[in-house]
Amino acid sequence: MRTAQPGLVQTVLAPIVFGVAVILLWQGLVTGLAIKAFILPAPFAIGAEFAGNLNNVAGGMAVTGRNSLIGLVIGALIGIALAIVAALARLLDEMAAPIVAALSVVPIVALAPVLYTMFGAGAETARQLVAALAVFVPVYFNTLKGLRQVRPVDRDLMRAYAVTSWQATRAVTLPTALPFVFTGLRIASSLAVISALIAEYFGGPVGGLGKSITSAASSSNYGLAWAYVLGSIILGLAFYCAALIVEKLVTRRSGG
Amino acid sequence: MTTTTSFAVDVPAVNVHGVSRIFAARKGPGVTALDDVSLTVAPGEFVSLIGPSGCGKSTLLRLIADLDVPTSGRIEVFGKPARQARIDQDYGIAFQQAGLLPWRTVAGNIELPLELHGVGKAARRRRAAELIALVGLSDFAAHFPDQLSGGMQQRVAIARSLAESPSLLLMDEPFGALDEMTRERMQNELVRICAETQAAVVFVTHSIPEAVFLSNRVVVLEPRPGRIRSIVSVGLGAPSGRGEDLREDEGFFRSLSEVRDLLHGDEAAGASPAGARGVETR
Amino acid sequence: MRRDAHVHPRLRGGLFGLAGLVLLALIWELYKALGPVDGVVIGTLTVLPRTTDLAMPHLWVMFDRLFEPVTGAASALPLWQAVSQGSLFTLGIAAVGWLVGVTVGLALALLMQRFRLAESAILPWIILSQTVPLIAIAPLVRRWGAQIQFGDFTWESWMSVALIASYLAFFPVSIGALRGLASPDANHVDLMHCYAVGWWKTLWRLRLPASVGYLLPALRLAAVSAVVGSVVAEVSIGLRGGIGRLIVEYAGAAGNDPGKPWAPIFGSILVGLVAAGFVGLIGLFLRRFRRGEASA
């Protein structure tokens, strides 16, 4: 029976030991079985390539990171705004619900090629839009969920005060919904990076991580390609951690 | 005499001997939920455990059910260690929450323990039908728990606890979540069922009238640390003879005030002002 | 009472959804009619798209194009048929990826449910693995095809695609299943303990049925992720025959055939909807396990 709470040692040490073991096993397998680099390079080799091409990788991270960030901001703003409108106006909610539900189950990145045509294949706009669309879905859903969490007693109170629905939204609904918004943002932060990156596989200008990975791979420079992958992992982690920290700060301040 | 005669009449249904249970805390010495408690329940006897919150009445029940292990002391059920009694399915159990599986019908829920212990389908069906009739839910056998009222759900849970005809029933505030009227009706039914099945019962409650109405003996516990303060013999006659009119009986009121005085004793003495919190004295 | 209260809620949802779609179409055509030809440009940045027929074809152009042949060649299939074939191909790969991902996800969840230590060691890595764009490795498994061989078994390119799909699919399943397996009340777990049944029986009779409510959304998410993974991996691995490949291929035709690139996009939307609908169907069969928790 699992009853006891795991101790600090177990929660911190176990994943670290597991991670180190996997990396060592990986290294051992690659060298031991003489697996060729184009199938899977050894982790230490990837690390060396990463260190050796730090400038290029950092440049790619800057391009993709900027696209992700712009997409995140646009998508989040639109998602929050539409969710507020949907929470206030039932008609819009009912019209948007099936579309957003559909949007959440279709591969948004498939839109990348036509977006390149619409905004110009030389600009990063299409990628930012793909990221924004991907971000929009979880932010909209979570915000709407949060806006519907208002306790009946608070709603009755607002009704009794006879305030307008906008005043009620600001005084009661938004503070209640805030933790949910940030949960949505945390999910969206990872999605923004992933979407901006894979949009690069569908065309557009060079310079980002995704394009760099494909071009390194097609010139058989697998170590370098993996170094770019490592760069995108770091970028993804940075976005996620930033969102997590903001979420923790906000929810702690609002006493959530 | 050999040990094979251990099922002689004088083997108690439950024998709690010098049991303590201390819950370890992250800091400090831990909480003593039970301190050196001893108690014997005879076969067929109805014993209630009553006391304020934190007196360890539920802990004691969980120890008898082997859902928890005593820090020290020894518990025997029908002469065997509690663990063995659990494995042998010597008792049936019901909790405050009915705890029915929502995806099983009334009949399916009652059949669950039989199914888990490999009883054949036909025998299972028969037994479940019997028990459903016993708790008066024959029209609801194919209903799902969410279609039943709280009282009906609790009746299903009691039927389930009786499925394997145990000689001992452990009940942890089974009527605690019911409204007063349903509760009295359920008490009457429990008295009738006990008379029919001849099972011994250990019954945790925080309602004084409930304890007095149902029990042969009422065990009054006190909190921090959990100890037995006193045991009141109710002496209202055999369960079979109990009926609704008993609630108006003079002996009933006498025992009621005796238990009440015991529960409030420390309050009068000023030893623990919060002593009787959580006990309904209605 | 509201006047329209008698309308079935699902029908109502459908009607409003349709209205939403029409609204979207109207915005498209309205912007195309009124917007500046070169789009709205601030500085050097295009913030609203160009409205030329090439950049924003009329909706009826996209629609009509579906029924014309793919190319000028005499043997060419109608576009909608080619797209349907590609969609089915991708759906098949996504299904394989989904199955593998669901199996792995469930196995991991069971392992973590059984052993606390496994949960401590693996769970942070599972969560971490999904916060990072590991799908970036898709172009790197391209060379796996034909390079990996065990006896009669040859690794084929579509397996690489399915592998990527399964990688994206396993995460929601493992998290959802873990949460679901831990969802039974303490009461129910106690009851099973009282019945003296082991871990496997408890799993089968209690934990698995109780997890259905958590598992279904996870399976749906996994299906969607598998489709996204397949489409992206097809593009980056360069596998022919699927919808992802068509998206890139037809995008090249946008210059003189603006309706064409939209066809595979509609196809991919359809694939996503079918995948999610399939999981909805599973949910229909498991209806009894989703009954509201007994108020007990």
pLDDT digits (tens, 9 = 90+) for C207-240: 989 898 889 989 998 999 899 889 988 888 888 8
Region A122-130: mean pLDDT is: 87
> Which chains have at least 3 CB atom pairs separated by less than 8 Å from chain C?
A, B
Q: Distance, in angstroms, between A65 CA and closest chain C CA? A: 12
Rounded to an integer, what distance in angstroms lies between the CA atom of residue A70 and that of residue A125? 9
Are the Cβ atoms of C296 and B100 closer than 8 angstroms?
yes
CA atoms within 13 A on the CB side of B89: 17
How many A-C residue pairs are in contact by the CB < 8 A criterion? 189
Among candidates C279, C278, C277, which has minimal Cα distance to C218?
A: C279
- What's the pLDDT score for residue C45? 72
pLDDT for C167? 87
The whole-number average pLDDT for the span B88-98 is 87
- pLDDT single digits (tens) B135-162: 888 899 899 988 888 888 988 998 898 8
How many CA atoms lie within 13 Å of C281's alpha carbon, on the beta-carbon side? 7
Q: Is C161 a residue whose pLDDT tops 60? A: yes
HSE value, Cβ hemisphere, 13 Å, CA-based, for C142 = 23
How far is it, in rounded angstroms, from Cα A76 to Cα C8?
Answer: 33
Contacts of A2 in chain C (CB under 8 A): 116
Whether the bond between B12 and the residue before it is cis, its omega within 30 degrees of 0, is no
Q: Interior CA angle at B209 toward B208 and B213, to 5°?
A: 120
Number of H-type helices and E-type strands within chain C = 10, 4
Does B9 have pLDDT greater than 60? no
Is residue B77 over pLDDT 70? yes
Query: What type of residue is A138?
Result: P
Cβ of A110 within 8 Å of Cβ of C46? The answer is no
The greatest distance separating any two alpha carbons of chain B, rounded to the nearest whole angstrom, comes to 61
Confidence of residue A2 (pLDDT cuts 50, 70, 90): very low
Q: Do B102 and C291 count as a contact with CB atoms less than 8 A apart?
A: yes
* Cβ-nearest to C296 among B67, B97, B112: B97
Instruction: Supply the pLDDT for residue C97.
Output: 94
Do B173 and B35 contact (CB within 8 A), yes or no? no
User: Six-digit token pair at C6?
Assistant: 């008698």
Rounded distance, CA A131 to CA B254, Å?
Answer: 77
Cβ-Cβ pairs closer than 8 A, B with C, add up to: 71
pLDDT tens sequence across C163-214? 889 988 988 899 889 988 988 888 888 888 888 888 888 888 899 898 988 8
Q: What is the DSSP string of chain A?
A: ---SPPPHHHHHHHHHHHHHHHHHHHHHHHHHTT--TTT---HHHHHHHHHHTHHHHHHHHHHHHHHHHHHHHHHHHHHHHHHHHHHH-HHHHHHHHHHHHHHHHS-GGGGHHHHHHHH-TTSSHHHHHHHHHHHHHHHHHHHHHHHTT--HHHHHHHHHTT--HHHHIIIIIHHHHHHHHHHHHHHHHHHHHHHHHHHGGG---S-SHHHHHHHHHHTT-HHHHHHHHHHHHHHHHHHHHHHHHHHHHHHHHTT-
Minimal CA separation from C294 to chain A, in Å = 23
B146·C288 Cβ contact <8 A: no
Inspect the interface and report whether the beta carbons of B102 and C293 lie closer than 8 Å: yes
Q: What are phi and psi of C70, to 5 degrees?
A: -60, -50
Q: Select from C212, C293, C295 the Cβ nearest to the Cβ of B150.
A: C295
pLDDT band at C124, cuts 50/70/90?
A: confident
Q: What is the pLDDT of residue C3?
A: 47
Question: Burial, B73: exposed, middle or buried (Cβ in 10 Å; 0-12, 13-18, 19+)?
Answer: middle
Q: How far is A211 from chain C (nearest CA, A)?
A: 10
pLDDT at C287 over 60: yes
Percent of chain A with pLDDT over 70: 93
Could you tell me what percent of chain C has a pLDDT over 70?
90
Nearest Cα residue to B182 out of B145, B208, B151, B152: B151
User: Over pLDDT 70: what percentage of chain B?
Assistant: 86
pLDDT tens-digit map of B107-137:
999 999 998 888 888 989 999 998 898 888 8
Cα(B64)–Cα(B40) distance, rounded to whole angstroms?
11
